[in-house]
Each structure stands twice: as C-alpha cells, then as structure tokens.
Structure 1
Amino acid sequence: MAGILDSVNQRTQLVGQNRLELLLFKLKGRQRFGINVFKVREVLQCPNLTAMPKSNHFVKGVAHIRGQTISVIDLSLAIGGPGIQNTKDCFIIITEYNRSVQGFLVDSVERIVNINWESIMPPPSGSGRYSYLTAVTEIEKELVEILDVEKILNEICPVNTEVSADLLSDGEMQKDLGERIVFIADDSTVARNQVKRALEPLGVQTEVAKNGREALIRLKEIADQDCQNVITERVALLISDVEMPEMDGYTLTAELKADPRMAPLHIILHTSLSGVFNQAMVEKVGADDFIAKFNPDELATAVKKWVHEA
C-alpha cells in the first residue's frame, strides 16, 4: 500500500474532464466503498492508537503520523455498523476534508479505479434523510457506495455556521439582490444546509440542487421561463460544490460559461477539496472564486462581493 498514492499529484489532469479516481475500500463485510483520491493524503497500516478521554465514541484514538497528531475515526461505527475491534491488520486512510486532517479506520483497502462522474449516481430515493450515502456507482457488476463524509464529520464535530455580527446585512445585500436568489449546488444535505444557514441572516433567498446536472437543467429552465434568456435577472450567484454525482462542479461551470445566457452568472466553487485545489483549472473553466469549506465568514464575504458585482 505504501506506493498506491505515489502518483496522486499527476492525476490533476482528470479535473475538468468530469472524471475522478476512487480509492476502493471495505469496512466490515463484503460491501465496497469509495473515496475520491483527491481527498486522500496517505494510506497506512494502522499504527498503535492512543485513546483520548472523553472523545467522541466514533474516534478510535489518535495516531502520531509524520509529526502530526491525527484523530482516527472508526468509519464502520460512524455509519451505524459494527465497530472494528482488532486494528492490527486494518488500515488508516489519511484524508483532508474541510481544512482539517483526519484518519478513517477501515478493514481493507483494495485499489484505485478511474471513473466518469456520469457513472456516479445519487443514492436511491428511498435511502432516507438519515442515510450516510452521497452517491453510488457500479464497478465490476458490484455496487460501490460513496459516503457523505461531511455528514459524518459534522456529527462528530459540528461545524459553526454563524456569520460574525459585523458581516450581517445592513440592508445593502437586500438592495443588491432585489428579488434575485442565490443558487446552491451540492450533493451533501449537510453541506447544503450549512450554506443556507450561513446565508439566511444576510437576507438571502436560496434554491438548491443535488448535483451539477440537476443544477444545469434547473438554471436553463429559469433562463427560459423567468429571465427572458438572461439568467442574472433571476439568479445573482451560483455556489457550487466540485464533487457531485453525474456532473462535477468544474464541468457545470464550463457548461454554464459556454452558454451566452448563463455566461454572466458569477460562480463560487465551494468544496472540501481544500488540500488539492487546482487554481489553474478554476481559471480555465471560468469560475469567479474558490472557497474551501467551511468558513461562514469567508463565504458571506464572497457572497456579498459577487452579489454586489452581479
């Protein structure tokens, strides 16, 4: 496993092609799971873990890795499965999400597969609001589940969504917005709600989509029906995640910018890919801004800026 991620830095060419690479792993049982390689720093045989008093019961312990103390989360236990008892033969996937580094304890790690976002679908509609799935795909005729890691992390350490008092609306935001909305595209229910809660005190009305393709279809509908073919008459700003089933945020941005009706729309890419952000690709697809999740003040400041310029 030591060399499995040696070429991660060379994989950035996949960004913007609506493709990604998944690291496949298993928890307890036969079910396969996947995690975007861009989120992964390293895969290690599980070292000795140190238990921490009064820590969340999903946290198996902490490990000292390359001069950094990292919390290790029992991923099986965190999603409602049986906990991993014997860590000797298990692995830790070191990841970076939302400006923080954490390890996920898993039973085994298999390999990396290259896949198109179009092959990754939203979870079944009957999975319910309490499901930990954010997407599913099929590899070698077997279902692979992609977990809503942002939901898992938020349950362990809830994210603050309150905007500082000095950034709260003084009336200028409502004046700039008028009757227009801010559109949010994100496949994570938790992430969508975090953005909405951060923007509500600013007096912002929002509409949401669960993935890039759904957002593209809806924005075109708005342009056709409500805006006399100029989207900015109804939508002041788009805040889009990058990783989404069916169509990622880079591809969504490129599609919008290629449509004359949509091209004037300001777009903020808002993603948990904080450690591997590709500035050149953001500029290439035409996004206006990039913000790593989740800092409500940074988000509010960016929204105020781009709404004012819309």
Structure 2
Amino acid sequence: MAGVLDSVNQRTQLVGENRLELLLFRLNGKQLYGINVFKVKEVLQCPQLTMLPKSSPVVRGVANIRGGTIPILDMNMATGKGPLEDLSNAFVIITEYNMKVQGFLVQMVDRIVNMNWADIHPPPRGTGMDHYLTAVTRVDDQLVEIIDVEKILAEVAPQSDEVSPDLITDEVTTHALSQKVLVADDSAVARKQVQRCLENIGVEVVVKNDGRQALEYLKELVADGSDINSHLLMMISDIEMPEMDGYTLTTEVRADPCLAGLYIVLHTSLSGVFNKAMVEKVGANDFIAKFNPDDLAGSVIKRFQIETQ
C-alpha cells in the first residue's frame, strides 16, 4: 500500500481545479470511508502498540514510527462504535492535521480515487453516522462516508478557542464594532471554534457550510451592485469543502468585479503539504494553519491594521 502513496506530493496539480483524491478504507463491515490523500503521510500495517495510561479509550496506544512516537486512534471507536479487534491484520493511516501527526487504525485500506469536489456533498441529516460525517459521495455506486476528523480530534484532545487577553486591546474592540466576517467551513466543530474565537474579539460572524453556500451568500450581498467591502470585513475559508473547495471559491470571488476586493484568508488543516504557491495563485490575501486562536485573531487584527492605513 505504501507504493500507491509514493506520488502523493506530486499530485498538487489537482488543487485549484476543484478536485481531490480520496483514500478509501473500511472499518468493521463493508461500508467505505474516505480521507483526503493530502492529509495522508503514510499507510502501513499496524505496528506494535504501547498502551498509554490515563489516555482516551479511543487512543489504542502509541507506536514508534521512523523515529517518532505517534498516537494511534481507533477510527471505529472514535465514531461511536466498538474497538477494532484483529489488529494483526489492521492498517494505520498516518495523517497530519492541524500541525500534529497521528495515526488512525482501520481494518482495511481499499484504494485511491480521483474525485471532483462538486461530487462531494454534505451528509443528509439523520443518515448513518451523520454526527461524525463531514461529507458523502458515491464511488462505483457505493456510498462513501467522509468522516469529520477535526471533530474526532477535538473530542480526543480538546483545544481552547480562547484568544490571549493581551491581543484584545481597546483599539481592537473598537475596530471590531459593527464589523462582520464570513466563515466557510464544512466541519461543524471547526465552524464553532472559529466563531467563538472571532466573537471573543467582538466581530459579528456569518457561517456557511461550504464554498458554494459562501459564494451564493456573497453574490446576494452585492446583487444591488454595491462593493463587498461595505458588507464584510473579510472572509475566512477552509480549503477542503464539499461542492466547492476554498481555492475554487477564492478564484470565483476574484473573477467577480463586485467581489474581487474582498480580503480572503484561507484557514486549513493541510499543514503538512500546504501549497503556498497555490494560495498566491488563486489570489488569497493570507493563509493560516488550523487551529490556533491567537493566529486566527491575529489575522483579523492584521486586517484591521490594513483597513486603517
């Protein structure tokens, strides 16, 4: 399986074309699940695990991989089901999210498929494990469920969304009055984290679940021909989203004369393989890796400073 991932770093041409590649895997049963290849560093047979006392039950142990100690999370348990049992035949998907490396224990790795984000859809309410889904799609007429990994990580190792008090000065709170920020992210957990963080500063937050929703909202704001900057201070967008990714959203915004001046920050958990050249190519103003409240607050404060120059 490692061989099929050798070219992961050569696949960045997909980014910016509203495309992605999914690594498909199974847990207990025939249901297919998917994870973006850009999040994957390596796939390997489950190594020997060392138990960690007082850790979450979801963490089945740690493994020494290429000189580093990596926590291994049971994906089946993390989504509310029982533990995977046959570890001798199981696989570990080594990933990098939010500047941290962790492994996800799965029963079987299937294959990699090339997809269009337009074919990735928000999960229907009440379907399957919708509480842990960020999107769904179909491959060969079979449903593929894309798990909200950020939700899993937030439950296993919660992160604070509080902004350092020294960043919230009187000047910042004054600038924040009557300012509105658009946030686009497909993860419910990520949306809440960002919203709470920005509300700590004092700005009003409008949230949308994907790039298409965000673009439709933006177009509605300027339907009367007004300048987008009279409505919004900025937009903070995830990159990986169903229907329309953040790169394509940014490209669409820059192509619309009424929207082109919008200040855009791309906010992503793709920290390990983040393509700065692509961010510049599509015309985003800035990018930050998820999730650091002070970094996020700093991006808004930076926008305040630019606006007042």
Pairwise TM-score range, normalised by the shorter structure: over 0.9
Give the structure 2 partner of residue 99 of structure 1.
99
Q: 1:127 offset after TM fit, Å?
A: 4.5
Give the structure 2 partner of residue 284 of structure 1.
281
Give the structure 2 partner of residue 218 of structure 1.
217
Is the deviation greater in 177-186 or in 83-92? Answer: 177-186
**Which amino acid in 2 is paired with 1:287?**
A
Q: Residue deviations 1:238-288, cap 9 Å, x none?
A: 000000000000000000011111111100000100001101100000000
Contact kept, 8 Å, 1:123 with 1:136, in 2: the verdict is yes
Is the deviation greater in 122-131 or in 191-200? Answer: 122-131
Q: Report the 3-state secondary structure (helix = DSSP H, G, I; strand = E; otherwise coil) of the residue aligned with 2:271.
A: coil
Sequence identity, in percent? 59
Contact kept, 8 Å, 2:79 with 2:129, in 1: the verdict is no
- In structure 2, how many angstroms separate the alpha carbons of the residues matched to 1:305 and 1:127? 41
**Cα distance change of structure 1 residues 43 and 129 upon mapping to structure 2, 3 Å threshold:** closer
- Across the aligned residues of Structure 1 and Structure 2, the Cα RMSD in angstroms comes to 1.4
- In structure 2, how many angstroms separate the alpha carbons of the residues matched to 1:172 and 1:146? 38
- In structure 2, how many angstroms separate the alpha carbons of the residues matched to 1:229 and 1:140? 45
Q: Report the 3-state secondary structure (helix = DSSP H, G, I; strand = E; otherwise coil) of the residue aligned with 1:102.
A: strand
Matched, 1:253 2:250: yes
Contact kept, 8 Å, 2:177 with 2:203, in 1: the verdict is no
TM normalised by structure 1 equals: 0.96
- In structure 1, how many angstroms separate the alpha carbons of the residues matched to 2:94 and 2:202? 38
Q: 1:81 offset after TM fit, Å?
A: 1.5
Give the structure 1 partner of residue 235 of structure 2.
238
Structure 1 residue runs of 5 or longer lacking an equivalent are none
Matched, 1:35 2:35: yes
Q: Residue deviations 1:212-237, cap 9 Å, x none?
A: 00000011111125xx4211101110
TM normalised by structure 2 equals: 0.96
**Cα distance change of structure 1 residues 59 and 302 upon mapping to structure 2, 3 Å threshold:** same
- In structure 1, how many angstroms separate the alpha carbons of the residues matched to 2:170 and 2:272? 34
Query: Which of structure 1's runs of 4+ aligned residues deviate more than 3 A?
Result: 126-130, 171-174
Give the structure 2 partner of residue 59 of structure 1.
59
Q: Number of matched residues? A: 307
Structure 2 residue runs of 5 or longer lacking an equivalent are none
**Cα distance change of structure 1 residues 90 and 98 upon mapping to structure 2, 3 Å threshold:** same
Is the deviation greater in 246-255 or in 216-225? Answer: 216-225
- In structure 2, how many angstroms separate the alpha carbons of the residues matched to 1:35 and 1:130? 16
